[in-house]
Amino acid sequence: SVAAAWQARLESPADVKELIPEFFYFPDFLENQNGFDLGCLQLTNEKVGDVVLPPWASSPEDFIQQHRQALESEYVSAHLHEWIDLIFGYKQRGPAAEEALNVFYYCTYEGAVDLDHVVDERERKALEGIISNFGQTPCQLLKEPHPARLSAEEAAQRLARLDTNSPSIFQHLDQLKAFFAEVISDGVPLVLALVPHRQSHSFTIQGSSDLLVTVSASGLLGIHSWLPYDRNINNYFSFSKDATIGNSKMQRLLSGPWVPDRGVDGQALAVAPDGKLLFSGGHWDGSLRVTALPKGKLLKQLHCHLDVVTCLALDTCGIYLISGSRDTTCMVWRLLQEGGFSVGLASKPVQVLYGHEAAVSCVAISTELDMAVSGSEDGIVIIHTVRRGQFVAALRPPGAMLPGPVSHLVLGSEGQIVVQSSAWERVGAQVTYSLHLYSVNGKLRASLPLVEQPTALAVTEDFVLLGTAQCALHILHLNKLLPAAPPLLMKVPIRSVAVTKECSHVLVGLEDGKLIVVGAGQPS
C-alpha cells in the first residue's frame, strides 16, 4: 500500500526508504500479474496482491504518469538544490545536518569505520552486518550550499537570447500550421520524406545544413538541403530543392523493378541515421538493397529472404536494421561502420526471427531495449529479443471477429508499442481501423477506434502522429492515445509523416507529390 508506506515513513524515524526508478516509468511492477501467492497481512489477514494505490491514481499507468509529472515539475526543479544539500552537500554532516534532522547511524558514513584495522573477527562481522543493513551514506561532494536551478521561464529566456534553436512544435500545439509546400514529384505520391537525425557537421562551418531525403512511388530519389533554424528567414527555416529532380537526364532513381501494381512503398524504405545509406525492399526478386547517399549509387543486393521484402526499420542508434518479408520471417542485420560512418550491411543476418503464419507487414526495432517487434497480414504482433532472437510474446489486438492486417507499427522510447490494425465484423462488412497501445511487456494499455483510414504513423517521446487517407494529420498523447491538438487538414491524402530531429517541424508527404512542412508559428 502506497498510503501505508507513506504513513510509516512519517511515523518511524528508523524507517528510511528511497524510491527506485521504476516508480517513475514502469507501471507493471505495481501489479501481481502472474498471481503469485504473496501471503496475507498479519493484522488484517488481507491477501497481498497488487500494490494498493492512492485515491488520486485511477490505474498503475495513471500513478506512474502523475508521479513522473511531479518529478519533472517546476516545484521539484525549484527545490532540487535543497535535496542535493542533504544527500551530497553541506547538510550531510555537522551542525547543519543536525539542524535539518539529517543524521544517520555512525557506521553509514564514509571513513567512520576502518574495517581493515578491526582485529576482532566477531566485531568485524557485526560492523559489516550493520553497514549492510543500514546502507551507506554517499560521499560528501560539496561543503557549500548548491545554487538553485533556473526556472523554466528563466531557461526559456536564456535560450531565446542565444537564438539558435527552433521551438519544439509539441510545446506550441495550439499554433500548428502548414508553413510551406513544395512539389517534389508532380502527381506521384511522396512515400518518404525525412531528415536523418545523426548527420555529422564540420565544427568550422556554422549553420551548415542537413540532408532531407525524399522518395516518390516511382523510385525518384531527392537529396535536398534543410536548415531547421535561421532567424533571418521568414519561416525560420530554409529548404533548397534537389536540382536533379526536375532534370530527366540527371534524376536519381532507385534500382527496380518493383513488385507489380505496388510501386515503391514507404514501409519498405529506411535511411541510416547519419544519412549515408538508404535501404530498400519491395523488389520483385526478394532482394534487400543498399544505396549510397547522396549519389544514389547501388552498393549491394542481399538475397536471404525467400520472397519479397515488405517492410524495413532501423534502430535509433544505427546499429541494426530489421526486415520483414512475405516469407513470414524477419531478419536482423548489422550495419557496417568505418570511421564512424555507415558504409554497408553485413552479408548475413545476425538473427532470423520466426513465428508468423502470414506475410509480415510492418516491423520496428530498439537495440537499447533489446526488442524486435513485427506485425503480419493475419493481425498478429510478435515480440522477439534482438541479441538472441528469442520469442517473447504474441499479441492479438482486440476487435472484430475477422482480423485484418497490422498495417503500421512504431516503438516508443520506453518500449511502448503502438499498433494500427484493421478488422471486419463479418464477411462482406466494411473494414474498421483502430490504434492500440501496449506496454513494453505486451500489456494492452489503450485502444482507439479510428473513423479514418490510417496511411502513416510516427512516434516521438510523448506523442503519436497519424496521417490518413482523409487528408488529416492527427497528434495524440502517446500514453493515452487521446487527441493532443485538433487535426490539421492537408486537402490531399497523406502518404508519409516524419518529425525532424529537433522536433521543430513535421514533414508530410502527400498523394499528389507535394512535401508539406508543418511548424508552430514564429518564435517569439
**226-270 pLDDT, tens digit each:** 887 766 666 667 889 999 998 888 899 998 888 887 779 999 999
Q: Residue 29, by phi and psi: left (phi above 0), alpha (psi -120 to 50) or beta?
A: alpha
Other beta carbons within 10 Å of 193: 28
Question: Dihedral, CA atoms, 120, 123, 128, 134, nearest 10 degrees?
Answer: -160
> What is the pLDDT averaged over residues 21-49?
92
Are 508 and 193 a contacting pair, CB within 8 Å?
yes
How confident is the model over 430-482, as pLDDT tens digits? 899 999 999 999 999 999 999 999 999 999 989 999 999 999 999 999 988 99
Inter-helix orientation angle 74-87/60-71, to 10°: 70
Per-residue model confidence (pLDDT) at position 239: 86
Q: Which amino acid is present at 148?
A: A
Could you count the other beta carbons within 10 Å of the beta carbon of residue 124? Answer: 15
**Residue 203: per-residue pLDDT:** 47
> 230 Cβ partners below 8 Å, 6+ apart?
207, 236, 237, 238
SS3 assignment, position 167: coil
- Please write the tens of the pLDDT for every residue from 66-85: 999 999 999 999 999 999 99
Count other C-beta atoms under 10 Å from residue 249's C-beta.
5
220-234 burial by CB neighbour count: b if 16+ within 10 A, else e?
bbbbbebbbbeeeee
Confidence of residue 390 (pLDDT cuts 50, 70, 90): very high
372/45 Cα distance (integer angstroms): 44
163, pLDDT greater than 70: no
pLDDT for 279 beyond 50: yes
Cell of 108: 553509514
Q: Identify the structural domains of the chain with CATH numbers, from first to last.
A: 2-134 (1.10.1540.10), 169-199+208-491 (2.130.10.10)
What does the alpha-carbon distance between residue 49 and residue 30 come to, in Å, rounded to a whole number? 9
Q: Distance between CA atoms of 98 and 35, rounded to whole angstroms?
A: 45
First to last CA, the chain: 47
Cα separation, 160 vs 171, whole angstroms: 14
Confidence at residue 353, expressed as pLDDT on a 0 to 100 scale: 97
List, in sequence order, every residue forming a beta bridge with 81; answer none if it has no partner: none
Query: 488 - beta bridge partners?
Result: 473
Q: What is the mean pLDDT of residues 16-24?
A: 88
The per-residue pLDDT for 129 is 86
- Residue pair 321/335 in contact (Cβ under 8 Å)? The answer is yes
Average pLDDT, the chain: 90
The dihedral sign for the CA sequence 45, 46, 50, 53: negative
pLDDT tens readout for residues 326-383: 999 999 999 999 988 999 999 999 999 999 999 999 999 999 999 999 999 999 999 9
pLDDT of residue 128: 85
Report, as an integer, the average pLDDT of 275-298. Answer: 94
CA gap 500, 263 in Å, rounded: 26
Enter the C-alpha cell of residue 393: 510474446
Looking at residue 477, what is its pLDDT? 95
Tell me the residue length of the chain: 524
Local confidence band at 171 (pLDDT 50, 70, 90 cut-offs): confident
Alpha carbon distance 290, 385 (integer Å) = 25
Q: What does pTM read for this prediction?
A: 0.86
Give the pLDDT confidence of 194-224 residue by residue, as tens digits: 999 988 865 444 456 889 999 999 999 999 9
In sequence order, which residues have a C-beta less than 8 Å from that of residue 94 and are 6 or more positions away? none
Residue 524 has pLDDT above 70, yes or no: no
* Average pLDDT over every residue of 5-17: 84
Q: Provide the sign of the torsion angle of the four alpha carbons 170, 174, 180, 183, taken in this order.
A: positive
pLDDT tens digits for 91-133? Answer: 999 999 999 999 988 888 888 888 888 888 898 898 888 878 7
| Residue listed under C-alpha cell 502522429 | 465
